[in-house]
Structure 1
């Protein structure tokens, strides 16, 4: 996480909680929830309401309305901007095509801001196949490929003997 200039003035604890709020708001949005309150956020995370409001005030005028709550999407965006979170994070997947397909069917990574841009497998039968329009490459190609693609995150779901 790259902090914005304003975020550098916040405590590590507040920054950690803001990241948790960002994740919780993402969950809310994925479930179709459009409005939330500091009370609800506090309850879900086992915090005090005043702590949540104080943390949110660090981001500037949080888009909340007294008695109604916060627009979850606007609040998530405001927190993301404050924490200088990128709009998406490119990542690589290491594992067989079968495992990658299962993961993507179960877990919609794009909805959480992750974009799969590279796939690697130890299985020769997987090489050359496509997942999400990307060619599956041999595991031996990881190091040069990740450097050239600017990937900092990888999801590794493979047999322990591969690593």
Structure 2
């Protein structure tokens, strides 16, 4: 190809001497070696993975929960049986995710009278959509809501 682009520089530009923030040599930091996934993957937002107020455990648990198929148990006991962290640490991480809107947990009474916890994972807190049909009963709307149980600190 003999046509040159007149707006492109002939070679890479050096860092200006008057800009000390721009390093001439990159010796550290992460380098990504990525391969495009075509099956069995989930897209996780940077707002979760780089959240400044969430613990590493909460971020990891949030990513794990977002990767689960609909209907997979995501209660404290199920998660504690999957991971080596105990129930206390997992419960704390789930509360962090709830506080920041990545998770909602609702207690629902089934047709048989059993009370279950429905876990709703939100990949973008603040953006609600119609929930998928999971086959779980919809909680009845009541004028009086019971007081939430106090949480242990």
RCO greater where, 1 or 2, for CA within 8 Å and sep 6 or more? 1
Same fold (TM over 0.5): no
User: Which band: TM-score by shorter chain?
Assistant: 0.3 to 0.5
Q: Give the TM-score taking structure 1 as reference length.
A: 0.34
